[in-house]
Chain A
Amino acid sequence: MMSLASSLHREAVLSVRQLNVRFGGQQILENIHLDLFREQVLTLIGPNGSGKSTLVKTLVGAVKPTSGSVTIAPNQRIGYVPQRLHLDPTLPMTVQRFINLPRRHSRQEVDSALEDAGAETLRQANMSELSGGQFQRVLLARALLVKPDILILDEATQGLDHQGTAAFYRHIDSVRRTYGCAVLMVSHDLHVVMQTSDHVLCLNRCVCCQGKPEHVASTQDYRSLFGDQAAQTLTLYRHQPQETAHAG
């Protein structure tokens, strides 16, 4: 079951043990067991309402587990990119001010984070003027400012078109190399999952299957959740020659 990524770095930077989350009488997450290793890219997939977002929120501390534990290795900084954020239009906010919240950073740090996220031209812009893709890149830049060891993304490309999504994941991939950080992301884009992940975890309240992408795609659980069509998509993409995004 614990067939882990090809990664040589066996040091877990984030571990989840026997995690249960209940809201009211409803069990959202059940007995989750998860390890994220240094420099690994782990992707959470699962149908709507399967608890992906709740799991991510639990990892960043926005949801308290009913039982079980989330352990982050000492001195590991977390950068968090949420799902699309709604900003109230009554709150005036420039990109520069936004990414300096709550802690201020030097101009140099801000510039380099914006550049790494592909948002270097946006420093002076108003948050309300940004397009969907620009907004996500600014959120990424904000996450990079803490110099993260672990980057957590919750469906960061929701609402972006194909090109925007591809561009965003290219940035993630280059960021991962520059910062040497582990990445844990929630994604709906199965082909991206295939190209970029070391390890895939399929969630449906509990962990229904996990492993290397092609392994997950071949399981019965995966097929019953996403259908045969999706399984074929996954395998297809896996066999494409230009696997630039996939770091072995």
Chain B
Amino acid sequence: MLDDFIWRAMLAGILVAMAAAPLGCFVVWRRMAYFGDATAHAAILGVALALLMNISIFLGVLAVALLMATSVSLLSGRGYAMDTLLGVMAHSALAIGLVAVSFLSGVRIDLHAYLFGDILAVGKQDLWVIGGGVALVLLLLCWRWPFLLAATLSEELAYASGIQPRREQLVLTLALALVVAVALKVVGVLLIAALLIIPAATARPFCRTPENMALIAMGVAMLSVAGGLKSAYLLDTPTGPTIVSLAALLFMLSTLISQGWRFVRQRFALEPERFPMR
């Protein structure tokens, strides 16, 4: 089965979705959407450096993504607003990466594949790398879950419970760099942030606990990948953008349903008394 490129693509996409969705929830909760974007955009610089130094692209991207994420964490709160800082760094990294790629004479490089992903070209070895990266991210998240949540809720409460919020932030940064490195092949640097954020945002109206949200987001992300891949095959469209488009469609559906339900409840006064008010 793994000899068929479609199945390899499917497996790769679903694996990436499994890691990206729960991490994406943290990106949404902590309002670091732009942070994910910056880290992903820096990946193109990692690609260029990896090709220049003749090392594995996965490692090059991982290193640059990590560097980007940690430098953003360190620089934040030192004179510039976070969004300004990220705007500067995200686009500079992308631009510098593109310039660096152009210096690579002699190497034929398909820029398009790195910007928008090339999921149909996933090989068996890529699958191992993706599987390893995803396993590591999921392990990290499971291990630190309650502490990550507490640190996300309130730094102050986290300190009072003996948790170091900075360390938890570092765990998230590390996981983010890993997801960027493995998702590069699937959706490309320009769309990684979408794979992080859209499933989480789609899940939000339908859950009451964080765990709930992470699981539903995971389902949405896997559905987007599988459905997107199938649609791209049928419609002969680029796979990465098709996956993200389907995710966007699901988001719109979720918003329509939740807003519609809210309207119906208010219109017909169906507000359930879930708990007696004191």
Contacts and interface: CB of A to CB of B under 8 A. Distances in A.
Contacts of B210: 91-93, 97
Contact of B213 (A78, A87, A92, A123): A92
A60 interface: yes
A240 B276 CA distance: 36
A102 interface: yes
Interface string B77-92: 0000000000000000
B163 interface: yes
Contacts of B157: 80, 82, 85
Interface in B153-190: 153-163
Interface stretch (B34-42, B143-151, B225-233): B143-151
Contacts of A104: 146
Interface on chain B toward A: helix, strand, loop, or mixed SS?
helix
B275 A124 contact: yes
Nearest to B158: A102
Interface string A24-60: 0000000000000000000000000000000001001
Interface residues on A, range: 20 to 34
Most chain-B Cβ atoms within 10 A of its Cβ — which of A82, A91, A121, A134? Answer: A91
B15 to A, nearest CB: 26
Nearest to A101: B150
A161 to B, nearest CB: 15
Interface in B197-216: 204, 207-213
B278 interface: yes
Given A88-B31, A102-B149, A103-B146, A62 B155 contact: yes
A62 B150 CA distance: 14
Interface of B: 28-31, 146-147, 149-150, 152-163, 204, 207-213, 274-276, 278
24 contacts: A57-B159, A60-B156, A61-B162, A62-B156, A82-B154, A87-B153, A88-B30, A88-B31, A90-B29, A91-B29, A92-B208, A93-B153, A93-B210, A94-B209, A97-B209, A98-B153, A101-B149, A102-B163, A104-B146, A121-B278, A125-B274, A126-B274, A129-B274, A134-B278
Given A91-B153, A92-B212, A93-B153, 12 more contacts: A61-B162, A62-B156, A80-B160, A85-B154, A90-B31, A91-B210, A92-B209, A94-B209, A102-B149, A102-B150, A103-B161, A124-B275
Interface of A: 57, 60-62, 78, 80, 82, 85, 87-88, 90-94, 97-98, 101-104, 121-126, 129, 134
